[in-house]
């Protein structure tokens, strides 16, 4: 896997004055916090920064951030063509993952910062990739601290938020994480407050989002003797809940059920097009997502599917059943 060094990334950051920071569509907190924290740091270094994410940027906690993100490239086309900013892509390492901004940013010098193992190795002029990191925000932290160790509290707070989201507030960490926890300690010393981050992540949710979780739990199907849960956000459900679909709470609730090992959540996008998110308690589902043209981590991955919902469910049941059987026999 091709990866450049922090020193390589720093040269690009310190040697340029204008940046376009993009993240993957349907962004999670690790993606958005990586973008936001990096933007705040660069602005305070006197750099010009534009934030772009095809979205949707959802969740009450991120509502204050939304006005600062361009969700369409149209208003930026003239600026991009005339200024030629350095493109920084966070939390994904394939051009197609930045959605509508891919074509608009074609030809820009591109820096990729990501902690996912899979991706397009031909995408990006510089690629800083470390799958061992629990989050992309910790990679951003290392880059920024190599430049200036005195992180502002607002930057440390956002970097910590992204880490907590991707690590399940430390729940998903595996052995060998001590070096990354030292980075986390640095963030708390710089001003991040764990209790405040927990409140931001867990409290203040709408009643409609709680009803979404309840409906998904009620409607999900259980297979393989309780080891595999399958739920679908259909078109009517999408219309009913809109941006109040708190999928993280659904995963947490489902994974807490005794015997659950794998969860698949199918999300309607448009006619015959679906996004599938996979979560696992301990089994590697990254390879399953990869087989569908997607990717991700061992315990959290996803892919997109074109075809009928019936066909998708049938294939998923078959493939997950095979995976669980192989795990039982190994």
- Mean pLDDT of all residues in 196-208: 92
Q: Tell me the two tokens of residue 43.
A: 């602005």
Question: What does the alpha-carbon distance between residue 185 and residue 95 come to, in Å, rounded to a whole number?
Answer: 33
Q: Tell me the two tokens of residue 48.
A: 């010009």
Which residue, chain included where needed, has tokens 């192989």? 326
pLDDT for 1 equals 62
pLDDT for 327 equals 86
Q: Tell me the DSSP string of 183-213.
A: HHHHHHHTT--HHHHHHHHHSS--HHHHHHH
Burial of 160 (0-12, 13-18, 19+ CB in 10 A): buried
pLDDT for 3 equals 85
Q: How confident is the model at residue 297 (pLDDT cuts 50, 70, 90)?
A: confident
CB 113 within 8 A of CB 88: yes
pTM, two decimals, is: 0.88
Question: What does the alpha-carbon distance between residue 134 and residue 131 come to, in Å, rounded to a whole number?
Answer: 8
Q: How confident is the model at residue 64 (pLDDT cuts 50, 70, 90)?
A: confident
Question: What does the alpha-carbon distance between residue 113 and residue 91 come to, in Å, rounded to a whole number?
Answer: 6
All domains of the chain, ordered by start, with CATH?
6-201 (3.90.1640.10), 207-329 (3.10.310.30)
- Mean pLDDT of all residues in 298-320: 94
60 pLDDT higher than 80: no
Which residue, chain included where needed, has tokens 């002029």? 125
CB 77 within 8 A of CB 257: no
Question: What does the alpha-carbon distance between residue 198 and residue 177 come to, in Å, rounded to a whole number?
Answer: 21
Distances (CA, A) of 67 to 52, 58, 328: 11, 12, 49
Q: Tell me the two tokens of residue 154.
A: 């607002």
192 pLDDT higher than 70: yes
| pLDDT tens digits along 91-140 | 999 999 999 999 999 999 999 999 988 778 899 999 999 999 999 999 99
Tell me which of 289 and 295 has the higher pLDDT: 289
Q: Tell me the two tokens of residue 287.
A: 């390879």
pLDDT for 220 equals 97
- Mean pLDDT of all residues in 188-214: 94
The three-class DSSP label of residue 225 is coil
Distances (CA, A) of 272 to 100, 144, 262, 293, 311: 20, 43, 24, 17, 10
2 pLDDT higher than 80: no
User: Helix axis angle, 247-255 relative to 207-219, nearest 10°?
Assistant: 50
- Mean pLDDT of all residues in 301-309: 93
Question: What does the alpha-carbon distance between residue 132 and residue 183 come to, in Å, rounded to a whole number?
Answer: 13
294 pLDDT higher than 90: no
Bridge partners, 275 (sequence order): 267, 304
Q: How confident is the model at residue 21 (pLDDT cuts 50, 70, 90)?
A: very high
Q: How confident is the model at residue 264 (pLDDT cuts 50, 70, 90)?
A: very high
Q: How confident is the model at residue 230 (pLDDT cuts 50, 70, 90)?
A: very high
Mean confidence (pLDDT) of the chain: 94
260 pLDDT higher than 90: yes
**Considering only CA atoms, which of 255, 223, 173 is closest in space to residue 323?**
223
pLDDT for 328 equals 82
Question: What does the alpha-carbon distance between residue 309 and residue 224 come to, in Å, rounded to a whole number?
Answer: 20
Question: What does the alpha-carbon distance between residue 165 and residue 252 come to, in Å, rounded to a whole number?
Answer: 12
The three-class DSSP label of residue 27 is coil
Spatial neighbors of 63 by CB under 8 A, at least 6 apart, are none
Tell me which of 119 and 186 has the higher pLDDT: 186
Cβ atoms within 10 A of the Cβ of 105, count? 20
């Amino acid at each position: 896997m091709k990866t450049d060094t922090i020193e390589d990334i720093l040269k690009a950051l310190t040697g340029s004055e204008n940046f376009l920071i993009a993240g993957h569509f349907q962004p999670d907190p690790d993606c958005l916090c990586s973008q936001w924290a990096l933007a705040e740091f660069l602005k305070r270094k006197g750099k010009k920064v534009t934030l772009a994410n095809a979205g949707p940027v959802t969740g009450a906690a991120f509502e204050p951030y939304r006005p600062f993100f361009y969700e369409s490239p149209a208003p930026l086309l003239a600026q991009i063509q005339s200024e030629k900013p350095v493109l920084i892509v966070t939390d994904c390492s394939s051009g197609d993952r930045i959605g509508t901004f891919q074509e608009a940013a074609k030809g820009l010098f591109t820096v990729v910062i990501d902690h996912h193992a899979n991706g397009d190795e031909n995408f990006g002029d510089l690629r800083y990739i470390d799958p061992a990191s629990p989050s992309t925000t910790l990679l951003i932290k290392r880059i920024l601290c190599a430049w200036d160790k005195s992180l502002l509290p607002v930057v440390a707070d956002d970097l910590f938020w992204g880490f907590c989201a991707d690590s399940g507030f430390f729940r998903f960490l595996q052995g060998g994480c001590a070096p990354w926890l030292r980075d986390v300690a640095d963030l708390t010393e710089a001003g991040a407050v764990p209790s405040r981050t927990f409140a931001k992540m867990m409290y203040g949710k709408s009643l409609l989002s709680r009803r979404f979780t309840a409906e998904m739990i009620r409607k999900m199907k259980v297979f393989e003797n309780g080891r595999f849960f399958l739920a679908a956000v259909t078109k009517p459900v999408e219309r009913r809940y809109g941006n109040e679909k708190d999928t993280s709470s659904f995963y947490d609730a489902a994974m807490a059920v005794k015997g659950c090992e794998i969860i698949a959540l199918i999300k309607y996008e448009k006619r015959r097009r679906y996004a599938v998110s996979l979560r696992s308690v301990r089994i590697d589902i990254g390879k399953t997502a990869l087989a569908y043209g997607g990717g991700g981590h061992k315990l959290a991955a996803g892919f997109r599917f074109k075809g009928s919902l019936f066909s998708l469910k049938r294939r998923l049941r078959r493939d997950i059943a095979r995976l669980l059987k192989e795990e039982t026999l190994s």
